[in-house]
Amino acid sequence: MSAGHPRIGVVGAGWWATQAHLPALKSYVGADVTALADPDLHKLDAAARQFNVPHRYEDPHELFMSGNVDGVVIAVPHAHHYPLAKAALDAGLHVMVEKPMVLQSTQAWELVETAEAAGLQLMVGYTYQFTRAAAHAFDVIRSGRIGELLHVSGLFASMVESFYRGQPDDYAAVFQFPVTGPSASTYADPTIAGGGQGQTQVTHAMGMVLWVTGRRVTEVSAYMANRDLAVDLVDAITYRLDNGAVGTMGSTGSLRPGQPSQQEFRYYGSDGFLLQDLLAGTIETHFNDGSSEQFEPLAPDEIFPAEATSRGFADLIAGRAENLAPAVTAAHVVEFLEAAYLSAASGGAPIEIADRSVARAAKP
């Protein structure tokens, strides 16, 4: 790595790599994009040409072993996250893997432990965590200013149903797909996606909740509805946190292009409460002594900083920034979703989540 310029390889030349990561990294002075891998030669060539990436690989494992990169951004369909992230860490590379980190909790903790043992960075592509608003919520809640956390209420409604129908082109006008849209199967085939709204959207929402609270979920009960889809479209999840607080997360992917989305979280503590609206970019905090604070709202271009994750990863490798989407929090989200899907499949039965930190601490 030349000073301050980590060499980044991108794995996956599909929609999100070409919409977010490649443009973000190519236009960033703090990183060099040296390599790109994708088994789809057409997509590989199109993206490598568009973004002028020098080294191309059909097999991502050849990229990992090439000596051309210090870290990799993995932006491929969900079922491929775990094997590729594991192989990259085993090759001694820093890893940013897209959300959901992986589909099984055993895989999540294995990646966490592999990275820790090797002294490598492991980050997850939780875009909303890279905003000033998330940092503010984190500071207020983690510093205890609203007291002991009692309750979290979350709603995450978004426009994704056509992805779950395998009809991503319905959104071509909205996203403009600079090189390509996603493959039809990426979000629609449960063997590849691992689920619908949970794996694609609730992962963002619970990533935020667990990040700003610093807590983990100990018990989950969920109802989900697929309607006519092969994956879940609507999720209603209740949960208990490790301090005894209880929470809810409601989520639907059924909104249509042009409709306003709602993505809001409310955190209630013994000394006050904080209201976080991701899409308005606002946060207000009300304290039990009668005072309140308004956060200066995000500007429109700060609300969903698609460029921030891969740039933040380069900064992390270069030692310029902290990990704002650390793998341990993401692993707690994987545990949560695994339990939620299990609960929903059994008609809402409560599912307990074991505390992995005990097993992790006991390891030599």
Smallest gap from residue 362 Cβ to ligand NAD (A): 32
Smallest gap from residue 76 Cβ to ligand NAD (A): 4
Per CB under 6 A, 15 contacts ligand NAD: yes
Q: Out of 9, 23, 125, 198, point to the residue binding ligand NAD (CB under 6 A).
A: 125
Per CB under 6 A, 194 contacts ligand NAD: no
Which ranges in 323-364 belong to alpha helices (H)?
327-345, 356-362
Task: Choose among 135, 95, 145: nearest CA to 115.
Answer: 95
Per CB under 6 A, 186 contacts ligand NAD: yes
Per CB under 6 A, 11 contacts ligand NAD: yes
**Contact in structure between 326 and 97 (CB atoms under 8 Å):** no
Per CB under 6 A, 33 contacts ligand NAD: no
Smallest gap from residue 199 Cβ to ligand NAD (A): 8
Amino acid identity, position 48: A
| Shorter beta-carbon distance to ligand NAD: residue 5 or 165 | 165
| Shorter beta-carbon distance to ligand NAD: residue 14 or 71 | 14
Residue 244: partners with Cβ closer than 8 Å, 6 or more residues away: none
Structure-token pair, residue 287: 């304290």
Q: What is the largest CA-CA distance in the chain?
A: 62
214 exposed, middle or buried (CB, 10 Å; 0-12, 13-18, 19+)? middle
Smallest gap from residue 67 Cβ to ligand NAD (A): 19
Torsion of CA 352, 358, 363, 364, to 10 degrees: 180
Number of residues that bind ligand NAD (CB under 6 A): 27
Torsional sign, CA 46, 184, 329, 261:
positive
Task: Choose among 225, 230, 251, 228: nearest CA to 336.
Answer: 251
Per CB under 6 A, 232 contacts ligand NAD: no
Which residue in this structure is represented by tokens 């505390």? 355
**Within 62-121, which residues bind ligand NAD (CB under 6 A)?**
75-78, 80, 84, 98-99
Per CB under 6 A, 56 contacts ligand NAD: no
User: In the stretch 261-300, what mask flags binding to ligand NAD with x, by CB under 6 A?
Assistant: ----------------------------------------
Per CB under 6 A, 198 contacts ligand NAD: no
Smallest gap from residue 125 Cβ to ligand NAD (A): 4
Per CB under 6 A, 39 contacts ligand NAD: yes
Per CB under 6 A, 57 contacts ligand NAD: no
**Within 126-145, which residues bind ligand NAD (CB under 6 A)?**
127
Backbone angles phi, psi at 252, to 5 degrees: -140, 145
Per CB under 6 A, 166 contacts ligand NAD: no
Q: Out of 8, 10, 13, 72, point to the residue binding ligand NAD (CB under 6 A).
A: 13
Per CB under 6 A, 37 contacts ligand NAD: yes
* Number of residues that this document lists for the chain: 364
DSSP helix/strand/coil, 219: strand
C-alpha of 163 from chain center: 17
Smallest gap from residue 157 Cβ to ligand NAD (A): 16
C-alpha of 240 from chain center: 21
Which ranges in 2-59 belong to alpha helices (H)?
15-16, 22-26, 41-51
Per CB under 6 A, 12 contacts ligand NAD: yes
| Cα 187 to Cα 160: distance, rounded to the nearest angstrom | 9
Positions that interact with ligand NAD (CB under 6 A): 11-17, 37-40, 43, 60, 75-78, 80, 84, 98-99, 125, 127, 182-183, 186, 200
